[in-house]
Amino acid sequence: MKANLSKQYFIIAFLLSLAIAVTIQFPMMMNFIFGEEGGRHRDVMLLTFSEVGAELLITLVLAFLMFTLNFFILKPVDVRRKLTVMNIALAISLTVISVYILNNLFYSIKGLIIPANRPHGHRDFDFTNFFVSALVIGCILIIRLIYLKQIINLENEKLRREALQSQFESLKNQLSPHFLFNSLTALKTLIREAPETAQNYVNSLSRALRYTLQSNEKQLVTLNEEMVFMDSYLYLIKLRFDTNLSIDISISEEFSSLKLPPLTVQTLVENAIKHNEISKEKPLLIHIETTGNGTLLVWNEIQEKITEEEGTGIGLANLSKQFQLLTGGDIAISNHENRFRVEVPLIKP
């Protein structure tokens, strides 16, 4: 990661150095292109061209060297290292000293190639390069701020994801005790009313609980896996309610590989059982089906009961939060024409 940032820095430093060189020497370039000297004699034109090229190259090299020097002083890509006034003062001091030395060196080299033909050439040369160094330090501080903002954004996104993951795990952990509570309540009733079938009930309960334990390690399961679990779960609740409860399942094979949070169907069925009267006079029929829109629909005719059975208060609200965390969407709940419907989106793998 750090190596990649360093590579990016030097690429940006070169491009900025080139931009600074072109910007600083732009008046000279325009004078060469449109000035009178460009059209007099070939030797004058060649001299002017050489001077412009030398000025551009010197400014480019000087700016890039200052970017490189301050990379080790200000460390713009190491945003975890605190930038102090001492660091900035040291960077400015070393930059000034380096530019002073390089000015004399570059001006001497330039004088060997191109004789000075302008008054006060050395003074103008010094001023230009010190101005370039000031631009470089300003650019480096801006680069550091940009990197710092990117790191902060990445860390905030990481923290947000960790918070969502923690919240999601908390929701899943709340569902398993809820299922266990209701199962044990049903088992207590069954042992009292039909002890001869209690052994089969315990076996089915064991398979169902195994699924809930394994599902706690997953965020999503396929619809097929969920319905295999529902076979065991439906056996449990049918033993409890006998013929008073019926489940109509219509799952299209094309949607069996789509995914949803574990225990989604069980939560919806349990919700229908909890809030509706189930008796010989009013048997309950719950429909579980897929739709052409790639969603899962669980619905039933509303049969209001006078006394609600005890529960933990965890159900559709938790399911809704899970879908919000995983998909950014939500489940659709409707109560229309005496039908209670819950439609949940199926997630593509």
Give residue-wise pLDDT tens across range 51-60.
Answer: 778 888 888 9
CB atoms within 10 A of CB 85: 7
Q: What is the value of pTM for the model shown?
A: 0.52
**Packing angle of the helix pair 223-241, 198-215 (nearest 10 deg):** 150
Q: Do the beta carbons of residue 174 and residue 318 sit within 8 Å?
A: yes
Question: Is 60 exceeded by the pLDDT of residue 310?
Answer: no
| Cα gap 161→224, rounded to integer Å | 28
Question: What is the pLDDT at residue 129?
Answer: 80
| Cα gap 68→59, rounded to integer Å | 14
Question: What is the pLDDT at residue 312?
Answer: 47
Q: In 3D, which of 304, 295, 212 has the Cα closest to residue 254?
A: 295
| Cα gap 210→289, rounded to integer Å | 25
Can you read off the two tokens belonging to residue 311? 């529960």
Residue 332, beta-bridge partner list: 343
- Measured CA to CA in angstroms, residue 220 lies from 51, 128, 327 at distances of 69, 63, 11
Q: Token match 């006079």: residue?
A: 281
Question: What is the pLDDT at residue 38?
Answer: 42
Top pLDDT among 47 and 107 is at: 107
Question: What is the pLDDT at residue 266?
Answer: 87
If you count DSSP H runs as helices and E runs as strands, how many of each does the chain have, helices first?
Answer: 9, 7
When mean pLDDT is compared across 22-36, 128-142, 162-176, 269-283, the lowest value belongs to 162-176
Q: What percent of the chain has pLDDT over 90?
A: 21
**Packing angle of the helix pair 42-73, 2-24 (nearest 10 deg):** 150
Top pLDDT among 127 and 137 is at: 137
Question: What is the pLDDT at residue 116?
Answer: 53
Mean pLDDT of 204-232: 83
Mean pLDDT of 129-153: 86
Question: Is 50 exceeded by the pLDDT of residue 4?
Answer: yes
Q: Beta strands 284-290 and 245-250: pairing type?
A: parallel
What residue ranges define each of the domains in the chain, with the CATH number in brackets?
2-158 (no CATH), 194-345 (3.30.565.10)
Q: What are phi and psi of 316, to 5 degrees?
A: -65, -35
Q: Where are the beta strands (DSSP E) in 108-181?
A: none
DSSP code, position 80? T
Q: Do the beta carbons of residue 318 and residue 179 sit within 8 Å?
A: no
Q: Token match 């200052």: residue?
A: 66
